[in-house]
Amino acid sequence: KSCSILVTDANFECNEENIMLQAMDNSHIALVSVEIGAPGFTSYRCDRTMPLGVDLTSLTKVLRCAKDENICTLKAADEADVLNLVYDAKSAFFSPFFFAFMWHGRDASSPFPPFFLLCSALLPLFIHLNISLSSQTPITSSWPETKYDTRVTLPSAEFTRIVRDLSQLGEHVRIEVSKEVVRISKLKAKSSAEDEDNDSIPTGVVIEMNQHVSLTFSLKYLVNFSKSGSLSGEVQLLMSNDVPLLVAYDFTQGYIRCYLAPKIGD
Amino acid sequence: EASQIEIGDYFPVL
């Protein structure tokens, strides 16, 4: 769900050790990278390395059907063009539905694949969801390794609150990190009456730095990144001057890392 | 006006 805000189509690269996703957003300003290790699943089996090209918009709609207590099983057969999701319903109050999402191939003239929704209230207590797999070129490039001058670790809820609040006031934000202070200042305020800087130094902030950095970013993207805040109690902001910001959420058996290109010049 | 750089300019491998 976090990725679908940034990326509409992506390949899940599956191998024996993990499931990975790496994709740029449509405007090529942000990059999202996700890894979920095999131990993060109750059971995991991958007989053959394969990419699963998935329309994330459709997948998100399917995932909304799940409840917290549901156990979700994902299956893709060899040479199959369908990703099958099965939800085990544990709640006696769960209303069973059957959904079938089907499309064959991608029509370039169609921005969204046609799908058919079938519902029944009397089917057994599980859901079968089929999402067809699109044929995309697998992303084989390596993870972009970068050394950063600063790392700021803070509670993810604080980061979410900061960028959400500032996005109400402006379109861009300048993040400056010095030895003891992180200054997050809004830019291009929509209202001149709200033009003062907003320093946000919440508790639980750890600053590691080799060099002072000052970078400007689009708040819209930071707000989208912060949607991953529920995955981890902490978020790390890694920055160097004139290179993309890395917003990293690590969880027990994986991570979601979002890169954002800065604005240059003034 | 600041200009927005694309992510691929920093990570050519992409």
Q: Tens-digit pLDDT profile for chain A (266 aa)?
A: 888 888 988 888 999 999 999 888 988 999 999 999 999 999 999 998 888 888 888 888 888 877 777 788 888 887 777 788 887 755 444 444 434 343 333 333 334 343 333 332 333 334 445 555 554 443 333 345 678 999 999 999 999 999 999 999 889 999 999 888 888 887 654 444 444 444 444 457 889 988 999 999 999 999 999 999 999 999 999 999 988 999 999 998 999 999 999 988 76
Determine, for residues A29 and B7 on separate chains, whether the beta-carbon distance falls below 8 Å.
yes
Integer angstrom CA distances of residue A194 from A117, A125, A175, A185, A259: 47, 53, 18, 12, 28
Angstroms from B12 CA to nearest CA on chain A: 9
Of B4, B8, B13, the CB nearest to A263: B4
A58 SS3 class: helix
CA dist A252 and A37 (Å) reads 9
ipTM entry: 0.83
Q: Partners of A14 in the beta sheet?
A: A19, A50
Q: Which residue has the tokens 């998100």?
A: A60
Verify whether the Cβ–Cβ distance A244 to B10 is below 8 Å: yes
Burial A99-128 (b: 16+ CB within 10 A, else e): bebebeebeeeeeebebeeeeeeeeeebbe
